[in-house]
Amino acid sequence: MNQEQQLKLQAFLDGELPEREAREILAWTQRDGEAASLLAELKGTRQAMAKAELRLSVPTTREFFWSKIEREIQRLEPQATIAPDVSFSAALRRFLLPASALAALVIAGLVVHFHATPVAPVDTAGNDTPAVETTLASADATTYRDTSAGTTLVWFSDDTPAKAVKPTAIN
């Protein structure tokens, strides 16, 4: 008997064959003693194992077994298993404190930056690119400086749109 036949015999026993093939195997086992013996052995093993699994119990106490599970669940999902003990106002305070500290830092940083930055970059390279500057101290003054032409223009603007530009030339 070859391996394929052996496996077919087993598949027949387990009800895994289509009806036509199952009929063929049944006929084969009825005329072949070797096939019939092997089928009987496989069937005997299967029947012996049916509902013969050893009944086992966890070899630890309920509390010990559960404690590890509980710890791990609480570690993985603390929000889901432990009710938060904080009120809305406490949570808001907890959020606002770092947020306001951060905002103060940003404002301070901006103030320092604008006071420390030179108002007009010096054209040390001597190139021909004109520079346009706006100072923070007088936000309504715009300076146009062209080093190649030796010309500086300053615009003073007020809040009235109609009088927006008053160019003055300084040589």
Residues 6+ apart with CB under 8 A from 121: 131, 133
The CB-of-101 to other proteins minimum distance in angstroms stands at 34
Q: Does 24 bind other proteins (CB under 8 A)?
A: no
CA 43 to chain centre: 54
Between CA 90 and CA 14 the distance in angstroms is 66
Q: How far is the CB of 73 from other proteins (least distance, A)?
A: 5
144 and 152 in contact (C-beta within 8 Å)? Answer: yes
Q: Does 122 bind other proteins (CB under 8 A)?
A: no
Residue 57 is a binding residue for other proteins (CB under 8 A) = yes
The reply to whether 165 sits near other proteins by the rule CB under 8 A is no
68 is a site residue for other proteins (CB under 8 A): yes
34 lies in the site for other proteins, by CB under 8 A: yes
Structure tokens at 9: 């015999």
